[in-house]
Amino acid sequence: MAKGMQALDPEVRRGDSDPQGGSVLWLLGPTSAGKTTLATRVVADLRKNGIPAILFDGDEVRDFFGEGLGFGTGSRLRVVSVLVHLANKAADAGLNVVVAALTAGQDARDHVRENVKNLTLGYVSCSIQGCAQRDPKGLYRRAMRGEIDTLIGYNDAYQPPDDPDLVLDTEAHSLEELAGRIVASYVRA
């Protein structure tokens, strides 16, 4: 059975080395699953509770590099490497980091697991059908029309992670519920 949100326990979240450092909650999942929406809400609510927090989103990294980054394995891994670097630096400075990034591919996930301290890997889950119905960026519609052929979940199968620390099901739970449970675990810690 997939691990649920009860796995978001301080011992899991802060299970490793540096007691002064912040934690890293890495949210991964398919396009339109709700990573950015959930991460934005969590960071805003943590700050309201006086807990220093910062969001790094895969889209920011892509916007920064612009046309220089494509959607092949090398480019996807590069986005993840930059996010890992930023997350570690911010966590070292005591911030609680939330990363929102697709993080497709086992090599990218292994890279995160091996290189991020105080990590909680959260799988933001939503069926591809549900994601395609939401489609706030219109990417599924573009893929269906054949305008893009790089959309994971449509052009390639989306592989769920096999070892998430928690599963955040955005079809079964509201944004408020998911964000509330995450924030509560930080407030308790």
Ligand X SMILES: Nc1ncnc2c1ncn2[C@@H]1O[C@H](COP(=O)(O)OP(=O)(O)OP(=O)(O)O)[C@@H](O)[C@H]1O
Residues near Mg ion (CB under 5 A) are 35-36
d(CA 109, CA 4): 19
d(CA 79, CA 61): 6
Answer whether 91's CB lies under 8 Å from 117's CB.
yes
Which of ligand X, Mg ion, none does residue 175 bind to, with CB < 5 to 8 Å depending on kind? Answer: ligand X
Q: Indicate the residue whose CB is closest to Mg ion.
A: 36
Answer whether 125's CB lies under 8 Å from 160's CB.
yes
Nearer to ligand X, 111 or 173 (CB): 173
Query: Smallest distance from the beta carbon of 35 to Mg ion, in angstroms?
Result: 5
Query: Smallest distance from the beta carbon of 55 to Mg ion, in angstroms?
Result: 10
Query: Smallest distance from the beta carbon of 102 to ligand X, in angstroms?
Result: 5
Q: Could you list the residues that contact ligand X (CB under 6 A)?
A: 29, 31-38, 59, 100, 102, 134, 136-137, 170, 173-175, 178
The residues, any chain, with a CB within 8 Å of residue 48's CB and separated by 6 or more, are none
Nearer to Mg ion, 32 or 120 (CB): 32
Q: Indicate the residue whose CB is closest to ligand X.
A: 34
Query: Smallest distance from the beta carbon of 38 to ligand X, in angstroms?
Result: 5
d(CA 24, CA 27): 9
Token pair for 31: 């396009």
Nearer to ligand X, 24 or 100 (CB): 100
Q: How many CB atoms lie within 10 A of CB 181?
A: 17
